[in-house]
């Protein structure tokens, strides 16, 4: 009798367990989850953001010379690349101190100024809205944007041809 009673309780528990599991299974299939739709503007923005992150070189044209500039990884260069995605930037740079050309960018970029000693080829953000192209050396607190990819003698020759130079900055 005890065996029959024990088997009955075991069967009762198994039935309860099967019914409990059956209650957890939905009668209808779950709706498929879909990714939220992106509007065209946000898609363009995310493409621009990823291009800004991926761009590590921009180009400066000074006279007939096109110079690649290897960019630093900072907020100022990311902001500059975003501006360049809207179009090229052209400005005039003037000689200052016999070691640099300085020009008003026409835009303000984020500053991360650090004390440094520059060298020929350095491209620097000064006061957030000026770009300085060095053909000599100076010690000051700047935000470094990048480095021109040519020799110091080429840079000096290009930047000292005239007191004022027109600089065009582009992505390609």
**pLDDT-derived band at 55, boundaries 50, 70, 90:** confident
Mean pLDDT of the chain: 81
Residue 98 has pLDDT above 60, yes or no: yes
CATH of domain 52-170: 2.40.100.20
Show Cβ contacts of residue 101 under 8 Å, excluding neighbours closer than 6 positions.
93, 94, 95, 132, 133, 135, 159, 165, 167
Using CA atoms, how far residue 141 sits from 69, 106, 112, in Å, is 21, 21, 9
What's the CA dihedral at 90, 91, 92, 93 to 10 degrees?
-110
Return the domain boundaries, the chain. 52-170
User: What value does the mean pLDDT take over residues 100-114?
Assistant: 97
Look-up: residue for tokens 């209808």? 28
Whether the pLDDT of residue 46 is over 60: the answer is no
* Residue 150: its H or E element: none
């Amino acid at each position: 009798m005890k065996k029959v009673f024990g088997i009955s309780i075991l069967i009762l528990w198994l039935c309860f367990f099967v019914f409990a599991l059956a209650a957890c299974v939905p009668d209808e299939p779950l709706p498929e989850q879909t990714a939220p739709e992106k509007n065209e503007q946000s898609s363009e923005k995310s493409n621009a953001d990823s291009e800004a992150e991926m761009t590590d070189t921009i180009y400066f044209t000074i006279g007939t010379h096109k110079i690649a500039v290897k960019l630093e990884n900072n907020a100022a260069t990311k902001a500059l690349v975003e501006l360049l995605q809207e179009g090229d930037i052209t400005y005039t740079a003037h000689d200052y101190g016999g070691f640099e050309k300085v020009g008003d960018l026409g835009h303000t970029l984020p500053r991360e100024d650090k004390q440094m000693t520059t060298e020929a080829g350095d491209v620097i953000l000064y006061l957030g809205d000026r770009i300085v192209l060095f053909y000599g050396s100076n010690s000051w607190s700047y935000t470094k944007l990048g480095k021109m990819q040519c020799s110091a003698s080429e840079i000096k020759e290009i930047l000292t041809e005239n007191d004022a130079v027109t600089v065009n900055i582009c992505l390609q």
